[in-house]
Amino acid sequence: MQRPPHELRYHLLRIAIDKYQNGAVFPVLHGCLNDAEHVRRCFKELYGKPVSDHYLFNGKATRKNVLLAFRGLIDNAKILQKDLIIIFYAGHGSTASLVDVGGRRTLGTVETLCPVDDATRDIKSIPDFTIIALLRALASKKGNNIVFICDSCHAGGLARGSEESEDDSLRVQRRTHPAALRHSFDLDVDLEILTDCARIERVPNGFRAKNDAFVFLAACGKFDLAYEDYTQHPASGRFTKALISRLGDLRHEGRLTDTSYSNLIEQLDLSSPNSRQVQTPEAHGRFVDRILFTTRTSQMRFRVGESGDILPVSVGLIHGVVEGTILLTSETTELACSGVGQLSAQAQRNRGRGINPWHSSSWAKIHRWNTGALSLSVQDGLWLDRRTITSTSHPLRIVTDWADVVVRPKDASSVSLAVVRSDKQLWKSIPVQLKTVLRPEVCVDLQSVAGALDGIAHFMHQLGVGVGNAALRGMVRLTLHNVTVKRWPQSYEKDPKNEFDQDGEAWLDIPARSKCMIAFDVENMSTTAWYVYVFSFDSDTFKITPLCVPAVGATTPCLPGRATKSIGFDGIRAGGVKPFNMETSAPIAVSFIKLYVCAQNVNLNHIPQERISQGGHGAARWELSKTNKSREITRGEAVDESWDVSVSTIVYGPGVSKYRHV
């Protein structure tokens, strides 16, 4: 049995309403107070007593008190940065029209939570944009480890309870929207709260914002209904009951520390004997892939959904499958698996001139990301040719045993990527057959491939958040120079020509089994001082080399405004920081160069100094650990200003420059 992590500090706010003041509008509910008590007991068993537990039940849950409770979290001195904050709501919800000032024009529909005094006098429900503004203000002041659990419908039919089921033997109530509840908000509603807490547009987006800094766990989908179940005493919401039950199971299975919010929601069983009572819970927010109730990102799980014959797969981050990753697809059927669908792809044919130096195979490069499906551009031969595109697809296979590692070697020259899914609490792996980048004939072992994929992931995503800043791209520039050695006086000479073209590609003619020396310049064209990180990933040797990493500790930014920093070249004498060697151990080799700039030193807390060892020519090499936990490289929530500036490609080998414009 997994022992609760007693070091976890958490705070509870529970709002539950069974009986409303206006009974003509809001039918009596039966399980909301029970749900709130079950939530308290569940978290006490998991993590001990909360630091604070504030609750509003029935008559206490007025509109004024609910808003004050949210404000109280923001002002609560007991809540420290990054403490876990759990907000639970069980009761009626609704929808309302949003109109302009004067009520002349309807702007849309907003989702609302219904306080106990809703529809009495001039009291109205609480619109979604008010709650979101309060949560954003809370995240800004207390950190973004916030979970909002809502056991009510939240769009299209937002109330919990109201009508008896047509099948009385099931003793189930629907949580549907009372038809008599019809009101609207104008743009001035809760103006004081919105002004004080956060600038937020009153746009009817609901609680499902993908980029908000809190996790929203919803009882049902946008057009589904939520139900209360009376089959057992005491009555409870079907969603809350399943949620608490699954959390208890995960604790006993020892899997709380490797399950994310999205995985948890996918594992909930809300099935009903009545086929018409479909209830599908959802998880929303920027951090749904974090490990439960922590700020750590899930290391071993992917979200997988099904749509007809297509199996959309959202993978990446830690596992090396990110935008720009190049894979060699395989259509083998040798695995003893059953087909489950097709991997959506685009086929790209090489129409280039001359002799193709690459192994004639189908290369797949991910070009779309976070679109609900894994989309590939596939071509035969030269993978940098982008001209002619046709459609094709590659099959996925499924196996029933869950894998402890991300990749498995099928044979000496190919591996499979295990995409993990959950289906009614059973883990399954979906391996996508692939080969390593530009290595069609090389023999690699499991650890090498796992380390390489892990490395690409950190190299391509973790430090840079995965999104660029268009303005910054024009302010910070990376250039590549050839370097030669002058024998007398002994020094290095840098070729002023920038080998990178406008596409960020460099093609260097290097004789087979020989070396060339290169150096970089990072030019800061802005007035802001930046910390600079330059990494290379060598697809031939599977090595990640930090070419430029700030020292661990409270150091000053290494790239002042309006300045240029040279990396691997001192220009005066030998014995300083030497140029970097590019050595070809294969006929054609590729290295990816990544430049990041950041307003804070991410090395300060997130790259332990003892983990960096000095390699040849003054270059530090990052050594990946064998265990999942110790090989994490996280940006840290305190580092809000960092940008993924550029990805550059160096292709080197004998005579490769003639293929540059093929």
- What single string gives the DSSP state of each residue in 583-649? E-SSSSEEEEEEEEEESS-THHHHS-GGGEEE-GGG-EEE---SSTGGG-----TT---EEEEEEEE
Select the more confidently predicted residue: 163 or 562: 562
Residue 609: phi, psi to the nearest 5?
-65, -35
- Residue 3, domain member (yes or no): no
Token pair of 418 as six digits: 């295990």
Picking from 107, 89, 91, the residue whose alpha carbon sits closest to that of residue 99 is 107
Residue 272 pLDDT class (50, 70, 90 cuts): confident
- Residue 1, domain member (yes or no): no
Is residue 393 within 8 A of residue 343, CB to CB? The reply is yes
Residue 635: phi, psi to the nearest 5?
-75, -30
Picking from 53, 38, 84, the residue whose alpha carbon sits closest to that of residue 247 is 38
264 and 329 belong to one structural domain: no
**Percent of the chain at pLDDT exceeding 70:** 49
For residue 487, give the amino acid letter: R
327 and 448 belong to one structural domain: yes
Antiparallel, parallel or unpaired: β 580-583 and 426-435: unpaired
Query: Is residue 568 classed as helix, strand or coil in its secondary structure?
Result: coil
490 and 526 belong to one structural domain: yes
Tell whether the model's pLDDT for residue 355 goes beyond 80. no
Segment of 198-202, 323-327, 431-435, 487-491 carrying the highest mean pLDDT: 487-491
Token pair of 229 as six digits: 């179940």
- Residue 363, domain member (yes or no): yes
Spatial distance between the Cα atoms of 616 and 583, rounded to a whole number of angstroms: 13
From residue 136, give the alpha-carbon distance in Å to each of 128, 156, 203, 344. Answer: 12, 25, 15, 37
From residue 385, give the alpha-carbon distance in Å to each of 356, 365, 592. Answer: 11, 11, 17
446 and 512 belong to one structural domain: no
Picking from 528, 462, 185, the residue whose alpha carbon sits closest to that of residue 317 is 462
116-130, 327-341, 646-660: range with lowest mean pLDDT: 327-341
E strands, 17-124, in order: 52-57, 84-90, 93-99, 106-113
State which of 252, 270, 298 marks the end of a domain.
298
Is residue 173 within 8 A of residue 225, CB to CB? The reply is no
Is residue 621 within 8 A of residue 615, CB to CB? The reply is yes
Spatial distance between the Cα atoms of 62 and 572, rounded to a whole number of angstroms: 75
Q: What is the mean pLDDT of residues 169-173?
A: 43
How many Cβ atoms from other residues are within 10 Å of residue 515's Cβ? 11
Picking from 429, 438, 453, 196, the residue whose alpha carbon sits closest to that of residue 316 is 453
241 and 211 belong to one structural domain: yes
CA 325 to chain centre: 17
CA 194 to chain centre: 28
340 and 259 belong to one structural domain: no
How many domains does the structure of the chain reveal? Answer: 3
498 and 628 belong to one structural domain: yes
Chain-wide mean pLDDT for the chain? 63
371 and 511 belong to one structural domain: no
Cα Rg of the chain (Å, integer): 28
Tell whether the model's pLDDT for residue 343 goes beyond 90. no
**CATH number of residue 279's parent domain:** 3.40.50.1460
Q: What is the mean pLDDT of residues 143-170?
A: 60
Q: Residue with structure tokens 């919800």?
A: 93
Residue 499 domain boundaries: 463-659
- Residue 160, domain member (yes or no): yes
Q: What is the mean pLDDT of residues 283-287?
A: 84
222 and 368 belong to one structural domain: no
- Residue 368, domain member (yes or no): yes
Spatial distance between the Cα atoms of 635 and 232, rounded to a whole number of angstroms: 46
Residue 606 pLDDT class (50, 70, 90 cuts): very low
186 and 95 belong to one structural domain: yes
Is residue 643 within 8 A of residue 466, CB to CB? The reply is no
- Residue 5, domain member (yes or no): no
Token pair of 557 as six digits: 């930014």
State which of 263, 298, 333 marks the end of a domain.
298
Token pair of 133 as six digits: 């503004």
Spatial distance between the Cα atoms of 248 and 242, rounded to a whole number of angstroms: 10
CA angle 423/263/285 to nearest 5° reads 135
- Residue 4, domain member (yes or no): no
Select the more confidently predicted residue: 573 or 323: 573
CA angle 208/209/211 to nearest 5° reads 140
State which of 460, 481, 498 marks the end of a domain.
460
pLDDT of residue 102: 64
- Residue 420, domain member (yes or no): yes
Token pair of 392 as six digits: 């094709």
233 and 286 belong to one structural domain: yes
Residue 419 pLDDT class (50, 70, 90 cuts): very low
Spatial distance between the Cα atoms of 201 and 210, rounded to a whole number of angstroms: 15
Segment of 357-366, 392-401, 459-468, 471-480 carrying the highest mean pLDDT: 471-480
261 and 366 belong to one structural domain: no
3-state secondary structure 467-487: CCCHHHHCCEEEEEEEEEEEC
CA 267 to chain centre: 19
**Percent of the chain at pLDDT exceeding 90:** 16
E strands, 362-466, in order: 362-368, 375-380, 388-398, 407-411, 414-423, 426-435
How many Cβ atoms from other residues are within 10 Å of residue 104's Cβ? 8
pLDDT of residue 453: 43
Is residue 90 within 8 A of residue 15, CB to CB? The reply is yes
